């Protein structure tokens, strides 16, 4: 159980939410969520990549698997997200704490700044139909929220 990522390109997206935690009360539980405005062929779309590991089973919620982003609300210190994929629903309520400034690429130059917290809290609820699969809180979680995500109506 762990988390690693790699980013490619000259710039980060214009807007995104990213969060990750492996520090839940339920041993062996991990959660990662990234929602971003993805540039594609001169246009853009809002894409989602989410992984939830619980009781040894990895659940993937992704744009290419048909996830629907029902809600993304961001403020200075809170992020609320609701995802739906087939019979699964994920509710996220994250509390962002202060973080550190990281340098990020902007048009190939490392001139951007991102505030990333590593002490945030992620409250997570996952349902399969009407059955509650998981409910818990991840502490000491990584969290970033940059720009304003636009969802289709």
Q: Determine the pLDDT at residue 8.
A: 57
pLDDT band at 5 (very low <50, low <70, confident <90, very high): low
Residue 2 has pLDDT above 70, yes or no: no
pLDDT for 56 equals 94
Q: Hey, what domains does the chain have and what are their CATH numbers?
A: 16-146 (2.40.370.10)
Residue 138 CB: number of other CB atoms within 10 A?
A: 24
Q: What is the pLDDT of residues 45-89, one digit of tens each?
A: 899 999 999 999 999 999 999 999 999 999 889 999 999 999 999
Question: What's the whole-number mean pLDDT along residues 111-137?
Answer: 91
Contact 38, 48 (CB under 8 A): no
Q: What are 6-42's pLDDT values in tens digits?
A: 665 555 667 789 999 999 999 999 999 999 988 778 8
pLDDT score recorded for residue 115: 75
pTM: 0.86
pLDDT for residue 153 is more than 70: no
pLDDT for the residue numbered 147: 80
């Amino acid at each position: 159980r762990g988390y690693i990522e790699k980013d490619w390109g000259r710039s980060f997206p214009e807007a995104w939410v990213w969060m990750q935690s492996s520090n839940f009360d339920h041993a062996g539980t991990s959660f990662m969520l990234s929602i971003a405005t993805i540039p594609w062929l001169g246009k853009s779309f809002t894409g989602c990549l989410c992984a939830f590991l619980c009781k040894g089973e990895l659940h993937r919620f992704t744009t290419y698997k048909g996830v629907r982003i029902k809600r993304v609300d961001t403020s200075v210190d809170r992020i609320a997200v609701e995802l739906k994929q087939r019979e699964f629903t994920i509710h996220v309520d994250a509390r962002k704490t202060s973080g550190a400034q990281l340098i990020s690429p902007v048009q190939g130059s490392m001139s951007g700044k991102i505030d990333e917290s590593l002490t945030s809290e992620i409250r997570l609820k996952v349902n399969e139909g009407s059955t509650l699969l998981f409910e818990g809180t991840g502490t000491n979680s990584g969290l970033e929220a940059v720009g304003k995500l636009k969802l289709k109506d």
